[in-house]
Amino acid sequence: MGFCGAALGAAATGLRPVVEIMFVEFLGVALDMLVTEAAKLRYLSGGAYTAPLVIRASVGAGLGFGTQHSQTLETWMYACPGLKLATPSGAGSAYGLLRSAIRDEDPVVILEPRGIHAEHEEVTLGPDGLIPLGVADIRRTGDDVTIVSLGQTVRTALTAADGAPWTAGVIDLRTLIPWDRERSANRSSVRASRPGRGESVLRWLGNRDRRQRRCGVLPCAAGTDRAVHLSRRAGALSGASRAAVPAVGARCPGRDH
Strands 168-172 and 145-149: parallel
Predicted local confidence at residue 25, as pLDDT: 86
Of the candidates 69, 117, 120, 257, the residue annotated as catalytic is 69
Distance CA 188, CA 193 (A): 9
Predicted local confidence at residue 73, as pLDDT: 87
Q: Which helix (H) or strand (E) holds 94?
A: helix 91-103
Predicted local confidence at residue 65, as pLDDT: 81
Position 216, amino acid:
G
User: Catalytic residue at 257?
Assistant: no
Mean pLDDT by 10 residues, the chain (257 residues): 90 94 87 93 92 92 78 87 94 95 96 86 92 94 88 91 88 93 73 47 43 38 35 35 39 40
Domains and CATH numbers, the chain: 2-129 (3.40.50.970), 137-244 (3.40.50)
Global pTM?
0.72
Predicted local confidence at residue 192, as pLDDT: 59
Predicted local confidence at residue 87, as pLDDT: 95
CB atoms within 10 A of CB 84: 21
